[in-house]
Amino acid sequence: MIYLASTSPRRRKILKEQGVVFTTVAPDYEEKNWPKASPAFLVKRHALAKAMSCLSKIKEGMIIGVDTLVYCEKKVIGKPNHYRDAFKILSHLQGRWHTVYTAVALLNVENRRIQKKKIFMEKTKVRLKKLNSKAIANYLKKINFSDKAGAYAIQSKLIIVQEIRGSFSNVIGLPAERLQKELRYLNLL
């Protein structure tokens, strides 16, 4: 059995589109920010901690923990706290290249104990279009920005992304191609 330690509807959709049969388990983990930590360290640590927080709820199976963040000009950008925060984030990102990091932690569990652990990470480069204040405000009115690292939804029909280099699904929040490869290797697909 596969368990997704995430309540993200986008991650659930990606897994379903990949043909993965899974159960969703809400992680019990509050993300912490270490100001001097690298984005790679942060996403890996959060992904693992999310998966670990579900360990007591699962007797056997594979737990998938995931975390995504945006990194631009040596700053980690997570989910906005409110509208002003989202506006500020998009104002900063517009017209610039940034990197989306997503880490996935796979925990193979038997009798509530970890038998095997694997953590991997994907990076995707993204450049948003140049947007004026009015365009940013209009965009934020039309999407749910509060649960998205970087305050934008690449999968939205309202296209503000100019260019992408790497995995599209990684920017949504789950690197589908890499995860599928890892699950096949573990004979789970």
| Long-range contacts at 138-146 (CB < 8 A, ≥ 24 apart) | 139/90, 140/83, 140/86, 140/87, 140/90, 145/80, 145/83, 145/86, 146/79, 146/80, 146/82, 146/86
**Single-letter amino acid code for the residue at 56:** S
Measured distance CA(84)–CA(188) in Å, rounded = 43
Measured distance CA(172)–CA(38) in Å, rounded = 21
Clarify whether 85 is annotated catalytic. no
- Catalytic-labelled residue, pool 28, 67, 85, 147: 67
- The residues annotated as belonging to the active site are 67
